[in-house]
Amino acid sequence: GSGVQYNMVRYMSSLANRESVHNRAIALHNGILENNCVYFTAEVLRRAGISIPNYIANTVQLEKQLLNRGWKKHTNLNNLRPGDVVFAGYAHAFTFMGWAGDGYAYVVDNQKSTFGSVLHKRKIFEKDSKYDTNKSTHFFRP
């Protein structure tokens, strides 16, 4: 992957950094705990050196920011690499950290209250009815 992706994964490998990003996303969303995935992902990008504006709040805006910076959209989820920014349709965005096996990936996102940790396993190729997560549809890479 790129230097940015390496920086994202290295930074988010620290529990203290994950908690800091999580808390910043909540603060950017005025203390609201739900629907923070773009605030969270944009904060990860900012901490890796990409100047995403603080007001970016939804997946459509985030995709435009990535495209404007030369990131490319991909749809073959088998090719995911650490540091890719993944989307589940327009419902969710997260950062791919690595494969966990059996169609699961390690990801970081705002869903700590659901999974118990900012870093957790998530199904990639299908909906997960246990956690009510949508299947992933595409991703961006520099």
pLDDT in tens, 27-73: 999 999 899 999 999 999 999 999 999 999 999 999 999 999 999 99
pTM of the model: 0.96
DSSP assignment letter at 124: S
Q: Are 105 and 122 in contact (CB under 8 A)?
A: yes
Percent of the chain whose pLDDT exceeds 90: 97
DSSP lists the bridge partners of residue 73 as 140
pLDDT at 13 (0 to 100): 98
The tokens for 108 are 């970081």
Residue 2's pLDDT band, with cuts at 50, 70 and 90, is: confident
